[in-house]
Structure 1
Amino acid sequence: MSFWRGIFRHERREASPATRRLYARFEIAHTIVDFSAALCFIIGSIMFFSEAWMTPATWFFTVGSFLFAMKPTLRLWREIKLYRMGKTDTLADRWG
């Protein structure tokens, strides 16, 4: 199976206690990033009501945008790690 067809497979998340822990950690990180990005956008939106706060508001939007960009990055990183964990879990079977 090719690498790109091997990632984003649900059964990798439940393969072992280690993969379940890894998946849970990444879900927590993803949720924290999601809330942080939303909070940045809310604060930035409120700041935009005042002319004096335009520059800090723009920075909040910029930080929020980077945080939103981290979401798919975290998911891809998680899936690559799970893919690699699956490969090492079957290594003994292949050489046995």
Structure 2
Amino acid sequence: MPLFHQENRDRNDRTRQLYAFYEIAHTLVDFAAAMLFLVGSVLFFWAAYETPAIWCFVWGSMFFAVKPTLRLVREIHLLRIGATERLARAQE
């Protein structure tokens, strides 16, 4: 089954739990990125806090880069579970 198909995540309890775990991680990363950008934006109101503001944006950008990485890792993980199950059925 190809990546990013609903059937991959709904195959069994294990895949549903794994999907939920990755969704929670994705949401936490998304929230962290948004908060870092918000804090960085507020810090730019004061010249003395310019460097911490820049670092907030750098870290926020890193978190935004992690989001699609999490989704791809999740889909590969789900795909591998399906491949393992197919191999196990073939051996029976």
* TM-score (ref. length: structure 2): 0.96
> Which one of 44, 57, 65 corresponds to residue 69 of structure 1?
65
Report the RMSD for the aligned CA atoms in angstroms: 1.0
2:88 is matched with which residue?
A: 92
Identify the range of structure 1 (36-45 vs 83-92) with the bigger mean alpha-carbon deviation: 83-92
- In structure 1, how many angstroms separate the alpha carbons of the residues matched to 2:89 and 2:78? 18
The gaps in structure 2 that reach 5 residues or longer are none
Matches within 5 A, 1:1-96: 6-96=2-92
Percent identity at matched positions?
A: 53
1:92: Cα distance to partner?
2.2
Structure 1 runs of 4+ off > 6 angstroms?
none
Whole-Å separation in 1 of the counterparts to 2:11 and 2:86? 11
Q: CA deviation at 1:95?
A: 2.3
**Aligned mates of 2:85, 2:6 — CA distance in 1:** 16
Aligned partners of 1:92 and 1:62: how far apart in 2? 45
TM-score calculated relative to the size of structure 1: 0.92
How far does the alpha carbon of each residue in 1:27-84 deviate from its partner, in whole angstroms, 9 at most, with x for none?
0000000000000000000000111110000000000000000000000000000000
